[in-house]
Amino acid sequence: MADDAYDRELAAALRAGLVRELIARGELADPRWRAAFEQVPRELFVPYYYVGAPGGYRRRSRADPDPRAREAWLTGVYVDEPLATYVRDGELISSSSQPSLMAKMLTALDLREGHAVLEIGAGTGYNAALLAHRLGDAAVTTVDLDAEITEAARAHLAEAGFHPTVVTGDGALGCASRAPFDRTMATCALPSVPPAWIAQSRPGALILAPLATGLIALRVTDAAHAEGRFLHTPAYFVPLRGAAVPPLPDRSGIPWRLLRNDQFQFLLAVSRMAPADALALWHDEGRPPRDRYGLTVAGDRQWAWLDSPDGPWRWPLDREFSPGGA
């Protein structure tokens, strides 16, 4: 019992410290999101996670009988880093996103009271809990492909006192039974935007999703059209499972310093250009950051662009989604 009390006190102190860190970095300016991060206990959603170790991963757990190991687990929960939560055959399947990135994405959703939100990629359930804290359980639907993930997320949410709708299914197909949505938020990387997400959105809705190491914020016009720009921030997520991700261009011959340049990597990913052509464009256009790029969806056509959807630099995505996504 004494150990449990100590763990609760330590968790509260660590949570408060993380919130202070996020505020100092310019996140959580909205007091409603600040309250959510202060009051939703992340440790309930990551009872264990994995850290890199020689030859693979090492597990940290709140069930560890060693108090020092348990303290290391709890301290890691409140570090501003993503946590690997589901590893299968050595492959990372699911994770709990970096809190500062979660704060950026939740802020970018521009939520209003009464909004209905669809989250693609339930993960641990922590993000759904933050949404439910802000909007209420009835407003939040979260979807994931794997029943083991959704069962765990549902249990974590219940332990924390939240009961949003948790669906096991193909995230690329959205959730028609709960539509229409005012906001759709994906926490898995995409090769293109699933048409179902647009079709299940109200006119004027916002879709926020990781694509090509960036975050695209699409404003929906109608059931077949949406357009928007990428946010400035980089974003790396576990891919939407079941969706074929096109291979990146051959990077041989590109100087290592450029391969490490995040903005150049983004251009390679979003355009799928030959590296030499991408390098020439990148220099000619003044090394453009992510927020100079955008995406247009018009029926079965999707294209990324630089500066303007009608400008000279456009790249069709030409990807179709089939059942089997996250």
Catalogue the active-site residues: 94
Report the candidate in 142, 165, 200 with the shortest Cα–Cα distance to residue 326. 142
Report the first-to-last Cα separation within the chain, whole angstroms: 40
Helix (H, G, I), strand (E, B) or coil at 65: coil
Count CA atoms closer than 13 A to 68's CA, side-chain side: 0
- DSSP label of 1: -
Contacts of 228 (CB under 8 A, 6+ apart): 207, 216, 217, 218, 219, 294, 295
Helix (H, G, I), strand (E, B) or coil at 34: helix
Q: Phi and psi (nearest 5°) for 251?
A: -100, 5
- DSSP label of 58: E
Is 36 exposed, middle or buried (CB count within 10 Å of its CB: 0-12, 13-18, 19+)?
Answer: buried
Q: Phi and psi (nearest 5°) for 116?
A: -105, 130
Count CA atoms closer than 13 A to 277's CA, side-chain side: 9
Cross-strand bridge partners of residue 208: 185, 217
Tokens of 202: 């109200």
Q: Residue 292 in contact with residue 231, Cβ under 8 Å?
A: no
